[in-house]
Structure formats: structure tokens, C-alpha cells
């Protein structure tokens, strides 16, 4: 089995940390639930980090903000062979969460719940249409058979089942040594199965970018056995102490890299409440608020709101 020492890795510049201008038009248009920093990160990953010869995969494309930037980066990659594509998977129907309300408030006031929105995706990605391929359908039925991939962008892991689809059907295709995983819901405590999964798998990845808005960026450095991927997907039947151990492992990885752990601390609070220890959960949130304050509304717009939502569970 390959180890991290067997893999030759290089790290291109993290241009997105200093320059998010490429994402400003997307933010100005307002047709995406995506921050400027994570949007710029996707562009520069596709331009400077990807091989240009292997496909990339996006799970959860919504209105096309992320695809438009990733596709633009791929087209600007000097090594792009003109054949490799960004493969975009989505059901393109406003059936979940606040999708329909978001579209009504930002795009079309007459948009209906459950309506198809692929026409909005197509409009926002028109300039990069030659660099993307759309896979429309139920993500629970989706799978990948297109060989190794350079980048897996995940914005669908909203349930334990969808998280398992990501882990078992798409993550195995990530190229060892260079393959990049972006999870766009990492800095959101509402989906703790993401954190238990990544905590369990943390030894297989290198932490590249701890936080770009709500996203985390990891690079795969060791092949993951199928049994490890299946185990990583456990959540509903995972013992409370094991769930916390996995999140603590993730917390250690972040702290070793001097990274912001505030949202993972909220995940710990959720797990404490789930385990029946509401007082400990409230105390964990209070400690995080004391450490970080209520946050800068420009950089941590959701921080206080997410603290309150976790507190409400107790």
C-alpha cells in the first residue's frame, strides 16, 4: 500500500487567499449560495492545481455559481486538453431546504416550490458550457464510472444517506497524491455526519485549506480501503462516544494547523445534546462564544445564528 512518503506532492500558490476578484461577478450577480473566497478557491484549483487531463466532479450544483468558476478555471488551465470536463450532478428541482425561497428572493419572484431550475444553471454556466457535463437526476441514484478525478466538490451531504453516496461512490475515484476534496458544508454544524466521516478518514488526507468561507480543502495522500469508506459513513448507529472521538480527531488536525475550530466546536455541542447531555452542549456553545465573541458580520455572518440554533436544540 502506498503511504504519504511514497507520494510526490507539490503545492501551487493559494492565490485565493489574497485575491478573490475572479469571484466578484458571481457575488454581484447573487445567484449562488457561495462565498467569494471559496468561489475563488474553486477557480484557482481548476486553473493551477488540476492536471487538465482528468475530470472533476461537482455534487450539488444548484444555480451554477460554483460550476461557472470551476469551469472557467479549467478553461484557463494551460494544461487543459480540451477533453476533461467538470461533471455536475444535481436533480435541478427546488424540493429541498430554502432553494425555492432563495430563487424567489434573488432571481424570479414567481418561482414555485419543486420547480425545475436547470435553466438558471444553464444561463450562469453558458460561458463554460464546453468545459462541463451535466448529470441530471436523483443523487441517491448517482454514481461515477469515469476514472480517476482531480477534484471532488461536495455540496450535497445534507443527510447521512447522501454523505454515504459521496463516500462510497465518488470518493474512491479521487486521485491519490493530487486529488482534492472540497466539502462546502464543513463549517456548518447542521450536518455532523460530515465531521464524523472526515474525522475517521483524517489519516488519509492532508489539510490544505482549513477554511474558505464554509468550505474545507483536503488532499488525498493515501488510498482509502473500501471498508474504511463504509465505516466512515456510519452515523445513525454510531455509538455516542465513537462519534465524539471522530470529531475530536478532526479537531486535533485543525489545531495542529492553527486553524479555526469554532464550527467544529458547535458540532461537538450537537453531539453532546444528541447523547442526552444538554447541559454539556450548552456549556460548549457558551465556551465557544466566550472564546470567539459574536464574530465579525463580514467574515462570520452565520456564526451567532448557528450558535443560537445549536443552543435551541438543548
**pLDDT tier, 298 (very low <50, low <70, confident <90, very high otherwise):** confident
Sign of the CA dihedral 74, 75, 81, 84? positive
* pLDDT value of residue 28: 78
Mean per-residue pLDDT of the chain: 93
Domain locations in the chain as residue ranges: 11-232, 261-313
What fold characterizes domain 11-232? Rossmann fold (3.40.50)
Sheet architecture: strand order including 132-136: 132-136, 86-90, 56-59, 151-154, 180-183, 215-220, 205-212
Q: What is the pLDDT of residues 136-172, one digit of tens each?
A: 999 999 999 999 999 999 999 999 999 999 999 999 9
Given its phi and psi angles, is residue 226 left (phi above 0), alpha (psi -120 to 50 degrees) or beta?
Answer: alpha
In the DSSP assignment, the letter for residue 110 is T
241/172 Cα distance (integer angstroms): 27
pLDDT at 158 (0 to 100): 95
What DSSP state is assigned to residue 147?
Answer: -
Among residues 119, 150, 117, 129, the alpha carbon closest in space to that of 46 is found at: 150
pTM: 0.94
Q: How confident is the model at residue 3 (pLDDT cuts 50, 70, 90)?
A: very low
Query: Grid cell 487567499 — which residue?
Result: 17
- Neighbouring residues of 214: CB distance < 8 A, sequence distance ≥ 6: 35, 38, 184, 185, 186, 187, 188, 302
- Three-state SS sequence of 38-66: HHHHHHHHHHHHCCCCCCEEEECCCCCHH
Tens-place pLDDT, residues 61-116: 999 999 999 999 999 999 999 999 999 999 999 988 889 999 999 999 999 999 99
CA distance 296 to 260: 14
Amino acid at each position: 500500500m502506498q503511504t504519504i512518503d511514497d507520494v510526490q506532492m507539490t503545492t501551487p500558490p493559494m492565490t485565493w487567499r489574497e485575491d478573490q476578484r475572479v469571484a466578484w461577478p458571481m457575488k454581484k450577480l447573487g445567484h449562488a449560495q457561495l462565498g467569494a473566497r471559496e468561489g475563488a478557491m474553486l477557480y484557482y484549483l481548476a486553473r493551477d492545481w488540476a492536471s487538465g487531463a482528468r475530470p472533476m466532479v461537482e455534487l450539488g450544483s444548484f444555480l451554477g455559481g460554483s460550476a461557472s468558476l470551476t469551469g472557467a478555471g479549467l478553461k484557463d488551465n494551460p494544461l487543459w486538453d480540451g477533453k476533461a470536463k467538470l461533471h455536475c450532478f444535481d436533480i435541478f428541482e427546488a424540493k429541498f431546504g430554502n432553494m425555492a425561497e432563495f430563487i424567489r428572493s434573488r432571481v424570479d419572484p414567481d418561482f414555485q416550490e419543486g420547480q425545475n431550475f436547470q435553466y438558471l444553471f444553464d444561463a450562469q454556466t453558458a460561458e463554460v458550457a464546453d468545459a462541463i457535463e451535466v448529470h441530471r437526476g436523483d443523487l441517491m441514484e448517482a454514481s461515477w464510472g469515469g476514472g480517476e478525478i482531480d477534484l471532488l466538490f461536495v455540496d450535497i451531504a445534507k443527510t447521512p444517506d447522501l454523505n454515504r453516496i459521496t463516500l462510497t461512490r465518488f470518493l474512491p475515484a479521487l486521485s491519490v497524491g493530487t486529488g482534492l476534496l472540497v466539502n462546502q458544508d464543513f463549517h456548518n454544524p447542521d450536518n455532523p455526519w460530515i465531521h464524523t466521516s472526515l474525522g475517521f478518514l483524517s489519516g488519509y488526507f492532508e489539510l490544505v485549506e482549513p477554511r474558505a468561507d464554509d468550505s474545507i480543502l483536503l488532499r488525498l495522500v493515501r488510498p482509502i480501503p473500501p471498508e474504511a469508506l463504509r465505516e466512515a459513513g456510519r452515523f445513525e448507529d454510531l455509538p455516542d462516544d465513537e462519534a465524539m472521538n471522530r470529531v475530536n480527531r478532526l479537531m486535533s488536525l485543525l489545531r495542529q494547523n492553527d486553524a479555526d475550530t469554532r464550527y467544529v466546536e458547535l458540532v461537538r455541542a450537537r453531539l453532546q445534546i444528541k447523547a442526552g447531555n444538554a447541559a454539556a452542549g450548552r456549556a460548549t456553545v457558551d465556551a465557544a462564544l466566550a472564546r470567539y465573541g459574536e464574530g465579525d458580520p463580514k467574515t462570520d455572518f452565520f456564526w451567532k445564528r448557528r450558535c443560537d440554533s445549536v443552543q435551541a436544540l438543548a
